A and B are shown apart, each in its own frame.
Chain A
Amino acid sequence: MAQFVKKDDDRDEEAEYSPFLGIEKGAVLQEARVFNDPQLDSRRCSQVITKLLYLLNQGETFTKVEATEVFFAVTKLFQSKDIGLRRMVYLMIKELSPSSDEVIIVTSSLMKDMNSKTDVYRANAIRVLCRITDGTLLTQIERYLKQAIVDKNPVVASAALVSGIHLLQTNPEIVKRWSNEVQEAVQSRAALVQFHALALLHQIRQNDRLAVSKLVTSLTRGTVRSPLAQCLLIRYTSQVIRESSMNNQSGERPFYDFLEGCLRHKAEMVIFEAARAITELNGVTSRELTPAITVLQLFLSSSKPVLRFAAVRTLNKVAMTHPMAVTNCNIDMESLISDQNRSIATLAITTLLKTGNESGVDRLMKQITNFMSDIADEFKIVVVDAIRSLCLKFPLKYRTLMNFLSNILREEGGFEYKKAIVDSIVILIRDIPDAKESGLLHLCEFIEDCEFTYLSTQILHFLGVEGPKTSDPSKYIRYIYNRVILENATVRASAVSTLAKFGAMVDSLKPRIFVLLRRCLYDNDDEVRDRATLYLNTLGGDGSVIETDKDVKEFLFGSLDIPLVNLETSLKNYEPTEEPFDISSVPKEVKSQPLAEKKAAGKKSTALGAPPASLTSAVDTYEKLLSSIPEFSTFGQLFKSSAPVELTEAETEYAVNVVKHIFDRHVVFQYNCTNTIPEQLLENVVVVVDASEAEEFAELATKPLKALPYDTPGQTFVAFEKPEGVPAVGRFSNVLKFIVKEVDPSTGEAEDDGVEDEYQLEDSEIVAADYMLKVRVSNFRNAWESLGPDFERVDEYGLGPRESLSEAVNAVINLLGMQPCEGTEVVAANSRSHACLLSGVYIGNVKVLVRLSFGVDSAKEVAMKLAVRSEDESVSDAIHEIVAN
């Protein structure tokens, strides 16, 4: 009761000053009628609009009718000359976001304001108009907007530029026409105008690498005043650096000087942006890092929390890749452990954990223990992750670290946090053999008092696998059987499975396990009873102690290599007959699951379920996919899979792309098909390939796709045989054939009979580049020397007239499909000659290096000298043949 009274007091107090207490939508809408008064009371109107905005801001919504009514009433207020009121009108119109037929009502008023003498009107009218306008109206006002961009009032210019940035999303073709004006605005004296203009200019040109590079080159010479604009410029510069590839031999990186110069800028924002950009450079060297680390270190002792946070967060990231570079900051970091701001403290700790050396671990752990109790779970998880990697780095320190983990495991905490700890312990057990026994006991103690069913079952499963292999398995039995007595059915069931695993692996324990399992036969949950019965039978629990045979172990420990979805459908289709359900009849192929999804699933698998997912590249995924198809499993090692090539235009009925898989003696086309028509189900989908223009290829097998429902991608394959080791090329025409069945969209059921149909796809090609893997070499000169001149082949070619030198260079690189080294794919503007270095691996795993020298004459005739070195004479010749053709 006392509480209620207190609340009332609060309300009273508030009532004194809140003009909005007890405000109600209906009443305010009534009040809005003052907008229609012939004698406008602008102050009153302002107040009503404020109330309306207040309601909207609190999350109140207006119905369509209400919104329209308010909108029309508000438009009347354009009559008033009160600037304050007009501002509120602008705001209201933006909040109401009127429909296109309503927009027309205010267009003329807004256009009038846009050309008014009052700058406040102009700037705001532009923003409102651009917010609510559509394409057609935009062309009408385009002229004014262009003028506004170069207006001498910075507020007006900024309004037009920012509106341009928003409009670029919806009407790019119109905004792109403004680039001259925008360019002029970049030179503005007003800081914010410069910032907005630069942002817009870059967005207009962002798909044109050359233009961006030019923009950066001209601006880095120093005309930018605004700190925000300078930050943008730093970001654009990093992009240019990223795209112009690796630093060359001399170690000079283009634009690095500019970034380093920004470290001495007077605005902290710019200094920080530059330091961060340097730390994020590809393959940054420690010499390049040093100046950036130095300024960040200064920030660490700033009085501003924001600055300390920014610095420590960046250093934390650097510590992942260059721990040595950050060690200089360790003293400053340690003082941050006691920082008031817990985010900063956590980041400092994890950084220290990454950079610390073996001798410092104990001291560090002491500091952290005090700190752990007063931070939130999400920070604790970060710390736990850092401790895990530290432990893997210094396995000798496992005792301290494992103790720390088990201590925090006993403390209060949410599921995610506990899971992070358990995962870490599991990983440590797996990777550090010495830590196994103590780790398992910690886990056992944890499940004695664990409120999370998921974690209990996962730990029990893990115990079942690891426990029997320890020196004294019997000591775990007590913990496991306690679960059967104390826990819920899910945990009991998995405890039964774990007991059975101990029984299967450790013969001396078998009789005792049987006793325990028999007790489980009286459990009141049927899953638990079923499992106990099953295990008693498989292990031979009827008295005779026999050697557990291999099948049983396989059954207990083996993993189910059948996709659960397939198993589920097969079980649903199974009708109880005399014939028992045969698990081997369940299809093993993963049904039409897009590759991206599979990858995501792979990443998510936790440490408990599977070994930590290694970085699976696309090739690995393809390899798995192909080897799971019996017809293709004999083709041997996959050499290369191309990137998907689209065979249909975007937004057609059926979207098909092809991935070319190259084997030593075979080529497999993988057609990824997507059906984009909800009313259709496609069955027996095949691609009929005509290889008459590819003489050396002989069709071997086709693997049709049984069904292709709407919006679930599926794959069909066609395999070809080709002569071994020969880089056969050819052109293939493709036709998609299938049976169409109509689908009732309401029920999702397909009709029984379908119609055969076909769909013409674009041609696919096998080119020489398909036989070449892009492989980078770290030092081209050394690699070149080590291959020796034995199989060097040099020749000269005329490439005829070309658009430009860089176009010619790119054409040759693409033709060969090799990796350009040391940034030599970039041709300096206006140069008359160019040298380019390429490396790659040719089919048959032959290393190939290529040196190209280009020259161009005044008639744009390009000549090229091609020098090839490889491990095999015939391959060197083959490269020349590719170019010669």
Chain B
Amino acid sequence: MKFCPTIKNVLLLDSEGRRMAVKYYTDEWTTNGAKLAFEKSIFSKTQKTNARTEAEIVMFENNVVVYKFIQDLHFFVTGGDDENELALATVLQGFFDAVTLLLRGNVDQREALQNLDMMFLCLDEIVDGGMILETDGNMIAGKVATHSMDDGAPLSEQTITQALATAREHLTRSLLR
């Protein structure tokens, strides 16, 4: 028996089961094809269930998968079949809470894609190589959302670059529309 709770993967899929951001921590799925197949089947298996108010759970290919949906986003956390289900659920909840905070409550596909960098950082802060790193959504979001300059940068440069960047982004957005 393995002693430490181990996470096998964390997935964020869209409303059609396509990848938004995923991370695998074991070599159980060796190829990208195998990973896609896993995502596809777990998505189709859970699609019809109602996992919107409470996290749901399913046994799947000798793994335990806990999952939760909100709007058009689907969150999954997979562990081995002798894993403590509640530990997995805690990780899922942390992931879910962090994403909700980071997207300021607008939890949907569009916002998640706009902020995909945060989604990646979020995955990185929750689990490290299968080991649970942090389970508190507030902490995770806090670690991800430090978009400031470090102490070494001169104050003037900081504000100007930031202002410029924001302006440019607003411009491009309005042009694209």
Binding site for B on A (CB under 8 A): 16-20, 41-44, 46-47, 49-50, 53-54, 57-59, 81-84, 86-88, 91, 94, 116-118, 120-121, 127, 131, 155, 158-159, 162-163, 165-166, 192, 195-196, 199, 202-203, 206, 227-228, 231-232, 235-236, 239, 268-269, 272-273, 276, 303-307, 309-310, 313, 340-341, 343, 376
Contact = CB atoms under 8 A, between A and B. Distances in A.
Contact of A272 (B54, B86, B168, B169): B86
Interface string B134-177: 11000000011011111111000010010001001100000000
B150 A50 contact: no
27 contacts: A17-B109, A41-B161, A41-B165, A44-B165, A46-B117, A50-B120, A54-B116, A83-B147, A84-B117, A94-B124, A118-B150, A121-B150, A159-B128, A162-B128, A192-B133, A195-B132, A199-B3, A203-B4, A231-B84, A269-B90, A273-B84, A305-B56, A306-B57, A309-B85, A310-B86, A341-B49, A376-B45
Given A87-B121, A91-B121, A306 B152 contact: no
Contacts of B84: 231, 269, 272-273, 276, 310
B73 interface: no
Contact of B54 (A57, A94, A206, A305): A305
Contacts, number: 165
Contacts of A20: 113, 116
B32 interface: yes
B131 A91 contact: no
Given A57-B22, A341-B49, A304 B55 contact: yes
B134 A42 contact: no
B21 interface: yes
Where chain A touches its partner, the secondary structure class is helix
B146 A305 contact: no
B80 to A, nearest CB: 13
B52 to A, nearest CB: 12
Contact of A192 (B19, B134, B168): B134
A255 to B, nearest CB: 16
Contacts of B121: 87-88, 91
A299 to B, nearest CB: 10
B30 interface: no
Interface of B: 1, 3-5, 19, 21-22, 32, 35-36, 45, 49-50, 54-59, 66, 84-90, 109-110, 113-114, 116-117, 120-121, 124, 128-129, 131-135, 143-144, 146-153, 158, 161, 165, 168-169
Contacts of A304: 54-55, 89
B3 A19 contact: no
A83 B56 contact: no
B165 A232 contact: no
A380 B79 CA distance: 23
Nearest to A234: B84
Contacts of B148: 83-84
A306 B131 contact: no
A759 B163 CA distance: 78
Contact of B131 (A118, A162, A227): A162
B89 A306 contact: yes
B131 A305 contact: no
Given A304-B89, A310-B86, 12 more contacts: A17-B110, A49-B117, A83-B147, A162-B131, A195-B132, A227-B90, A232-B4, A235-B3, A303-B54, A304-B54, A306-B85, A313-B85
Contacts of B89: 304, 306
B148 to A, nearest CB: 6
B85 A18 contact: no
A43 B165 contact: yes
A166 B124 contact: no
Contacts of A117: 151
B146 A341 contact: no
A228 B131 CA distance: 12
A235 B3 CA distance: 7
B134 A82 contact: no
B109, B121, B168: most-surrounded residue (chain A CB, <10 A)? B121
Contacts of A131: 129
Contacts of B45: 376
Contacts of A120: 143, 146
A611 B149 CA distance: 73
A195 B131 CA distance: 11
Nearest to A304: B54
Contacts of B146: 83-84, 87, 120
Contacts of B133: 158, 162, 192
A87 B143 CA distance: 10
Given A162-B128, A162-B131, A228 B143 contact: no
A82 B54 CA distance: 38
A611 B3 CA distance: 37
A42 B35 CA distance: 33
A199 B131 CA distance: 10
A304 B51 CA distance: 10
Contacts of B144: 87
A84 B147 CA distance: 5
A131 B153 CA distance: 28
A481 B147 CA distance: 79
Pick the 5 closest A-B CB pairs, nearest first.
A59-B32, A81-B153, A17-B110, A43-B165, A310-B85
